[in-house]
Each structure stands twice: as C-alpha cells, then as structure tokens.
A and B are shown apart, each in its own frame.
Chain A
Amino acid sequence: MNKTDNDMKRRWLSLFVENRIGVLARVSGLLSGKSYNIHSLTVGETENPEVSRMTVCLDADDRTYEQITKQFNRSVEVIKVIDFTNLSIRTKEVMFIKVSGLNDRGRAELFQMAQAFKFRIKDMDSDSVLVEAVRTEIKNDSILNAIRSRFTNLEVVRGGPVAIESISMQDR
C-alpha cells in the first residue's frame, strides 16, 4: 500500500498538439504549475500544419511520470501522447559552440577534434571557430566536455533533443 517509488529515471514523451497560439504555454505551464522539472522540450510543425509535435524529456519517478502523462492526455490541446521511454527511437540534438580567443595551435587542435568526435566546423575568423554538432544528446554532452577540457572561451547553444520512433535501428 502507498508504496513510495524511488525510481527516478529519464523519460521521453512525444506529444502531438494543436499548432495554435498558447499551446506551448499550456504544456510548459502544466509542467511548471505542478512543479514537474523538465530536462528539455522541443517543438515544431509536423507534416500536417495544424499539428505540432513536442519532444519532452524529463527525469521523474513512476508515480510522477504517470501523473504527467495523464495530465497531458486530458488536456484539450494535446491530441496524442506517446511514451518513448521504452520504445526504440532515434534522437538528435543540434548544438552550436562558438570557441573564441583561439591561436593557430588551438584552431588546429579543434579541427583534429572535429575529425575524432564527428562534429563540424561551420564558420570561423582569425580567432574564433563555430562548431555544429548534430548528434544524440549524450554524444553532444561528450563533445562539449571534450571541448571544455581544452578551451575556455565558449558560447554554447543547445536545441534539446527531438525524437522519432525508429524503423529498425535505435539511436538515443
């Protein structure tokens, strides 16, 4: 009875929502209003311009997670909720890192890292380089850590992961 679950883990939700003003506010407001902490939330239009899809990533225990999905399910603006936590999915996140204050050696090192870590150099000038990584969130974490360990003058922008159910190959 009344078991207290201490099974915090990372969860993935894909929400189909009405593509309308206020719907993002409704979804994020629902999470914040109930003090649910989200890790990331991304949103964009789908093949149907009337529908947007959100990828919500959060850490929660079973009970909280169940509440969250129920709350979404009963929201008028939310058309469908898919729980990606235990499904085979493909995820990607866009991350930009601007590394500044570089000398020639530093730049060369960054180019080498780009090869090894599979990210791209998209832009540069005499002392800065713009890195673009489109990988899973975890791999982006590693890339960022690697760059951080070698360079100090960074500007980082991350988009949060988007996810889709995979056809045959999982990548999360």
Chain B
Amino acid sequence: MTKITGNEFFVKALQEEGVEHIFAYPGACVIEIFDEIYKQTQFDLILPRHEQGLIHAAEGYARSTGKPGVCLVTSGPGATNLVTGIADANLDSVPLVCFTGQVATGLIGNDTFQEVDIVGITRNISKYSIMVRDRAELNTAIKEAFYIATTGRPGPVLVDLPKDVMAEIGSDIYPEKVNLRGYKPNTKIHDRQISKAINMIYKAKRPMFLLGGGVKIARAVKDMTALMEKSEIPVVTTIMGKGSVPTNSPLYYGNVGMHGCYAANNGVNSCDLLISIGTRFNDRITGKLGTFATEAKIIHIDIDTASISKNVTVDVPLVGDAGEAIRKMLKAAEERGACETGKWRKQLEEWQIAEPLQQEEKEKLVPKQIIDAINELYDEPIVTTDVGQNQMWTTQFFEIYGRRQLITSGGLGTMGYGLPSSIGVAIGNPGRDVISISGDGGFQMNSQELATAVSEGLPITACIFNNGYLGMVRQWQDLFYNKSYAGTCLLRRKGRECDVNLRKGTKHCNGRKAECYPYIPDFVKLAESYGAQGIRVTKKEEIAEAFAKAKAKKDGPTVIEFMIQDEELVFPMIKPGGPITDLITGM
C-alpha cells in the first residue's frame, strides 16, 4: 500500500469503478480534485454550463446506459444547484453519485465562504447522503456510494468532501466489498408468493399488466415482452413504463393516468386482476384514491418494500427484482400457455376504437404531426422530454420498440430537464440519434446547455414546441380556472395591448394576436449564437426537411423550433383529483 492524498484517491476510485465520464463544474473546494483529473486520461470531464444542467445530463447518461451518473461540483452554490436534480433522480430511481466539495472540517459551522450543509439539505431527497469527516473513511465512503446508488431501488447518493480531508494522505486501496449492516437490498423473489401470483393469473378472467419504470430499470424489457406474448395478457403502462413492451404490439393498450388513453384507464378499472410491476401507484396514475382498480385483486412487484401498499392496498406483495419475477412468470407461461383473454381483449379493442388517441390537423402545426415524423424518420432514436404539454404529447404518441428509448422526468416533473438530459444521453450513446423535446418555457430553464452540446460536438436534435405559453398550466386555467390566464403567456410585453388590458382589469389575454411579439427569444438566433444549427418550422411540409438537416449535422446540435398551434390542449384528461374513469376527451 502506498499512501496518497484524498484527491489522488478520488481519481483512482473512479477509475476502479470504470467511470468513463464525469460531469463536473469547478470551484475553490474542488480545484485540487480537478487538478488530479487533469493528470489522467481514463475518464473524461464534461463541463456543463450550470450545475442543474450538469446533474440532468448525468441523469440522462444513467437512465440511457444503466450505469451510474457521476457528478462533481464545488461547495455552496455548486452544491445547492444540484438539489433539483437530486430530488428528480430520487423520485425516478436514477443511480447517481454526486460529489460535492466542502470547506475544511475546521471551518464547518462558521458560515464560512461557500459553506452550506448540503448533507442536511439533501437528506430527505436522496437515497443516502454523507460527509466524509476523516481521510480514513474516504475509501469505503466512495465504494459504498456507488454500491448504494446502483443496487436495490437505484437512486442518488451524495458524498460531501471537505477540502482538508481530501488533502490528507491515506490508503490507496479501493475496497472490494462493502459491509453495510443497515443496507441489504433484497432482490430474490419469494417462491411461494410468486406461485400464488401465477395461480391467480391463471384463474383471472380479465388480467392486466400495469408496468412502471421498474421494468426498464431492471433491464427486463425482452423478458417482459416474451411474457406478454406467451401469456396473452394485455399490458398498460405508466409514462415511466412506456417502452417496457413494444408499443406496436397488439397486446399493448397505452398509458394509464391523467393523460392516459381511454382503453387503458377503462381497462385498469375493469380488470379483475392487476399485475403491477415497478410502479408506486402515484396520484397521477390512480386519480382519486379509492376509485382505482376497484374490481381488481392487485399483485404488486417492486424492489422497494416501501413502495408496496403505500398508495393502494395490495393483495399479493412481492418484494424483489422485477426481472427475476418476470422470468419466473415467463417460465410458468411457457409451461401453462396463454391465458384465455380473447373476450377481454375484444372489450379493450372496442374501447380503443371508441376513443383512440388522436389529434386533429389544424391551421398551424399540431404536435402529433411532429412526433409521427420522428416515429417515421428515425430508426432507433433516444428521445428525452421536458415537462408540460410537450411531454404528454411525446409520451402519448412516441412509438417505442427495439432499442428506442424514452427518457422523461416523471416523478418530479422538472421543467428544464429535456435538453440537458439529452446531452448525457448523447455522451453515453455515441452514434445513436438523440432527440430532446421541450416547450418554449422549459427550454429556457436550461438553454445554456446548448453551449455544452456545441463544445462536446454532440449531434443532438433539440426540438422546441413553441406555443408561446406555459401551455400545461394554461390548459388547467382553460379547463378549470375560468380561462383566467394568470402568468402563463411567455410573449407578454409591457405596453402592448394585452398588458394594457390587464391593467384595465380585463384579465384575459384572449389568445394570440397579430400584434403579439412573435419571439422572446428568437430560438433560431439563440441556437445560431451558440454555433448550433437553428431551424424554424411553421408548416407540416417543412418537418421532414428539418429533420433531414438535423441528421446531416454530425458535429453539433440542431435546434428545431416548431411553431405549434398555440391553444392546443392535451386530451384525454382526467380531472385532477377525480377518478380515472372521469375522462375529458376534448371532442
């Protein structure tokens, strides 16, 4: 054993973990770590332009590759800028290891320059967070951080690194094993419980799979697809679960939840057995609690005990790895054959025909036209979304099969997620087509990351659905708040008619007018100012050409601003807090 500094050990530990990229932003408390990173070539350092963009990039990287995303930021503001991303990763079970610099231990508690209690701040929004107080603890702390982040239900782990601890000399040995007496994730599926579940499946008349994000996290899409096909049990998904089986399968009936489709929501409410895997039955899925899946017995498979029976009472709980459970069910299905679901599926199909997911063509572009084009023009894109209407349309219309992926901020619903996460995706998946879809509001929350994409030469296609509004909030105002459009127009300018009206007490902006200022900002110019390709699309006929140009640009990002029908709404919609059968269809 040779003795090395904490800073030197940090680099060694990351190399031992096989880290290939670190998303890092410098500052006084991490400058020495940067200095060590500079001396090596095993992993590279990506410099995003804001720590929020940084952590979303790490999330995109982690979700698309299954490997942990690694962040390194300085103390104080560097650390607090991570907070939104940590909460996001926590709710969506994304493995992240976040290293934060910290002032020297002797100064902690003094309100030292750039000192914040980041461990305290993140304690309730991370899987685990810890300060390394002693050089002797550093080696195991890093090992444990990677272990905790990536095992069980994955999540973000924060490791706070005081400057003096990192400067100290200590062991250079990276531990091989962890010994955490308080953390022993259970992956093994209980045999008796699974047999019970399988028996229920073969007794059910109207069984249905409800799949959440956990199936993809468990990398069990192939086995799940085989299980669906062998058992002939219909499948619905949450938005996080979309893509757990190919969406073009005849046994797939779409998303459930607030903007889920009629057949899927009706299906959940009419099935007599719901086999849900890797979802916590969040309120956006269930609608009003107590009205969800009222006719069904529920089998719930989840790696996280605390997710079971949290929101919905479950008949057969199964704690463990979704992949293992799926493979056990698959084995049974191979032996016992298909369930008799013909009549049940016919019912679902009738609902599908009665209320298909659709969107009428309008004067301007409608989002479905754009997403249909992506479906057609790209083979295996990885699509990230922002939050709002743009996200819901994408999760409704994007078809996922083969190696296609959809990456979206489901649990926290973080605006500003789309562009930076796509950067992490592109870094982790060179050669793949990467597309981000954002609203004009959310794009502006992290538009600085265009610089990162340009610097790294990433051929991302960043789509902006520009409706001039904070569309999703405006939709709620439109439907439930008497069309009082408070604070949802992104184009309002002082002195113009809408502003004058507002002052006179006429509360409505009454929609887009000729005199409205068309761009705040002009996204094409914004793109160009970063050295990215900028394209504006206003007509359906221009869509394919724009994507062709984007594909042709191999050495950097393209921003395509789609001027969409500005008052378009997302349908169907369940009234917030209402039962999921109470669907507003908009027709």
Task: Please report A residues at the B interface, Cβ cutoff 8 Å.
Answer: 1-4, 17-18, 21-22, 25-26, 29-30, 33, 63, 66-67, 70-71, 73-80
Contacts and interface: CB of A to CB of B under 8 A. Distances in A.
A161 to B, nearest CB: 24
B292 A2 contact: yes
A29 B313 contact: no
B104 interface: no
B182 A22 contact: no
20 contacts: A1-B293, A18-B182, A22-B130, A25-B123, A26-B123, A29-B123, A30-B124, A33-B124, A63-B309, A66-B309, A67-B309, A67-B310, A70-B306, A71-B306, A73-B306, A74-B306, A76-B148, A76-B180, A77-B182, A80-B182
Interface in B98-143: 119-120, 123-124, 127-128, 130-131, 133
A67 B123 contact: no
A29 to B, nearest CB: 5
Given A66-B309, A79-B182, A2 B128 contact: no
Interface string B446-462: 00000000000000000
A76 B289 CA distance: 30
Contacts of B183: 76
B294 interface: yes
Among A3, A30, A76, A77: residue with most chain B CB under 10 A: A76
Contact of A2 (B133, B152, B312): B312
A74 B305 contact: yes
B304 interface: yes
Interface string B279-305: 000000000011011101000000011
**Which 7 residue pairs across A and B have the least CB separation, nearest first?**
A70-B306, A33-B124, A79-B182, A76-B183, A70-B305, A76-B128, A2-B290
Among B123, B148, B293, B312: residue with most chain A CB under 10 A: B123
Nearest to A78: B182
B181 interface: yes
Nearest to B310: A67
Contacts of A3: 313
A22 to B, nearest CB: 6
A78 to B, nearest CB: 5
Interface in B168-187: 180-183
A39 B509 CA distance: 52
Nearest to B127: A76
Contacts of A77: 182
B559 to A, nearest CB: 39
Given A2-B313, A76-B180, A22 B119 contact: yes
Contacts of B290: 2, 4
Nearest to A70: B306
Contacts of A75: 182
Contacts of A17: 182
